[in-house]
């Protein structure tokens, strides 16, 4: 008998060797490769996903909760994916659907806190972006918030995320013509608001 054998059950004479125990413990404590890949995706996309959620939801805390839900869905779905996935697009689609689900929930409609401003541009803005005053940014943000949900979604994906019209249509289950109409109306509405404001 192995000198390192440990009885598992005194009534049964089965033994587990120390090397087997070590192997089993390593299997429990070793980080699986998919876990590291999910962490990498989180580091690369979490800021962008949170920005999308904040643009589509009213309250920052709601947006943070939904963004976390998106990455939980990533973890649950990652191993089941049997083909290459464009994760940036997948995460954005999941974020939009999760925001819609949150907005549909009856209790969500009870919350109408004052709107917090979301940074619509990168931290290194163009000279035009840097010239915008806080008041002008606030006006743009309020005008954006008044757009219908579908127009906001199309605008975010097309102009802020930079997706081609075809990809926006696929993500939102719309025709390309419908995407163009929603985008045209959103841009026209924002231009009108800015024209009247200036």
| Higher-scoring residue by pLDDT: 173, 80 | 173
pLDDT for 126-147, tens place per residue? 555 555 566 777 778 888 888 9
Crossing angle of helices 87-104 and 60-78, in 10° steps, is 130
The residue among 109, 129, 178 whose CA lies nearest residue 150 is 178
* Per-residue pLDDT at 140: 80
Tell me if 37 sits within 8 A of 79, measured CB to CB.
no
How do residues 174-188 score in pLDDT, each as one tens digit?
999 999 999 999 999
Q: Is 52 exposed, middle or buried (0-12, 13-18, 19+ CB in 10 A)?
A: buried
Would you say the pTM of this structure is higher than 0.75? Answer: no
Instruction: Band the pLDDT of 114: cuts 50, 70, 90.
Output: very low
Gap between the Cα atoms of 170 and 175, Å rounded: 8
Q: What is the pLDDT of residue 27?
A: 53
Q: Which domains does the chain have, with CATH numbers?
A: 31-116 (1.10.1740), 121-198 (1.10.10.10)
Q: Give pLDDT, residue 141.
A: 82
The pLDDT tens digits of the residues spanning 79-93 come to 777 777 888 899 999
pLDDT attached to residue 42: 92
The whole-number pLDDT of residue 20 equals 60
């Amino acid at each position: 008998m192995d000198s390192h054998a440990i009885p598992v059950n005194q009534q049964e004479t089965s033994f587990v060797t120390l090397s087997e125990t070590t192997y089993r413990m390593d299997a429990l404590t070793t980080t699986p490769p998919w876990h590291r890949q999910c962490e990498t995706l989180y580091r690369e996309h979490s800021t962008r996903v949170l920005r999308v959620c904040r643009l589509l939801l009213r309250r920052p805390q709601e947006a943070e909760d939904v963004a976390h839900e998106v990455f939980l869905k990533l973890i649950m779905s990652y191993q089941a994916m049997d083909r290459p996935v464009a994760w940036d697009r997948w995460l954005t689609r999941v974020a939009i659907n999760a925001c819609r689900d949150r907005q549909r929930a009856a209790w969500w409609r009870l919350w109408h806190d004052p709107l917090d401003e979301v940074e619509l541009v990168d931290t290194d803005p163009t000279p035009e972006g840097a010239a915008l005053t806080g008041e002008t940014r606030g006006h743009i943000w309020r005008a954006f918030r008044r757009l219908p949900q579908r127009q906001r979604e199309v605008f975010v994906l097309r102009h802020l995320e930079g997706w081609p019209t075809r990809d926006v249509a696929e993500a939102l289950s719309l025709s390309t013509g419908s995407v163009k109409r929603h985008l045209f109306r959103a841009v026209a509405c924002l231009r009108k608001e800015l024209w009247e404001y200036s």
